[in-house]
Each structure stands twice: as structure tokens, then as C-alpha cells.
Amino acid sequence: MSNKISLVVLLILAIGVATLGWKTKVLGESTSTELITLTTEPSPLRPGKAKFLIKVKDKDGRPVDNSKVSFDLNMTTMNMGTQKGEAVEQGNGQYRAQGNLTMLGPWRVRIQAVMPDGSKENKDFVMNVR
């Protein structure tokens, strides 16, 4: 019986992710066609303050300035309280944000970029704090 429940829960989660249009990538798994990429300082991540360096490109691979880039950060295995904020534009399609990783384990950074034309790009990154 518990296998059936687990299967139903996984199916509901998969449909929810597909419906919301969120893309999830493990940090470091990016391709040249990605519209949003993420790097961190430090790398690999450790508990404490961290910088998140976000790059935003258009569908032709050109850097996009003047986007409104927001993020939220939370642990995936335990609710540590969601940290939210807006990334600061650095120029040439680059944006910077900062968060506080309070413990070891997997964390999710959810990024939304509202492009200058009003379209939205969403992407989740999952990373491990060691």
C-alpha cells in the first residue's frame, strides 16, 4: 500500500513541476543553451554566507541586462525558512545575490528572471552544502 501512495505522490509532484514550468538542474549541470546559469562563491559551498552569481541570456545566447531577477533559497530536506530577495545587476547579463546557508545538506535556489519584454524564465538549482 505504501508503494502505491509513494507512486501517487511522485506523480502529483511531477505534474506540479511540469505545470509550473520550473526547470531544475543540479549545480554544475548546464549547457550553452541555458538561459539562466548559476555559479557560487565559495565553490563548493560551505555553511555560512554565500554569493550567487546568476547569468541571464536570451534565446540567441546574448547577455540580457535590465531584467528583474529574483531568487528564493531553502533547504530541500528540511524547511529552514525561505530566504527571498532580488539579485543586483552587475552588467553584461550578470546578477549577484547573497544568502546564508545555515547547515550541511541539499539546498535549492529558485531563480525567476523577468525579461525586459515581460516574459519570464524560471529555473531551480539544487546544490549540496558540504
Q: What is the pTM of this model?
A: 0.75
Q: Domain locations in the chain? A: 23-129
- For residue 7, the one-letter residue type is L
Per-residue pLDDT of the chain (130 residues; tens, 9 = 90+): 566 665 555 545 544 444 444 444 455 444 457 899 999 999 999 999 999 999 999 999 999 999 999 999 999 999 989 999 999 999 999 999 999 999 999 999 999 999 999 999 999 999 999 9
Decide if 64 contacts 116 (C-beta within 8 A): yes
Q: Are strands 83-86 and 94-101 parallel, antiparallel or unpaired?
A: unpaired
- For residue 1, the one-letter residue type is M
- Helix (H), strand (E) at residue 69: strand 68-75
For 23-129, give the CATH class: mainly beta
The burial of 108, by beta-carbon neighbours within 10 Å (0-12 exposed, 13-18 middle, 19 or more buried), is given as: middle
Q: How many whole angstroms separate alpha carbon 130 and alpha carbon 124?
A: 19
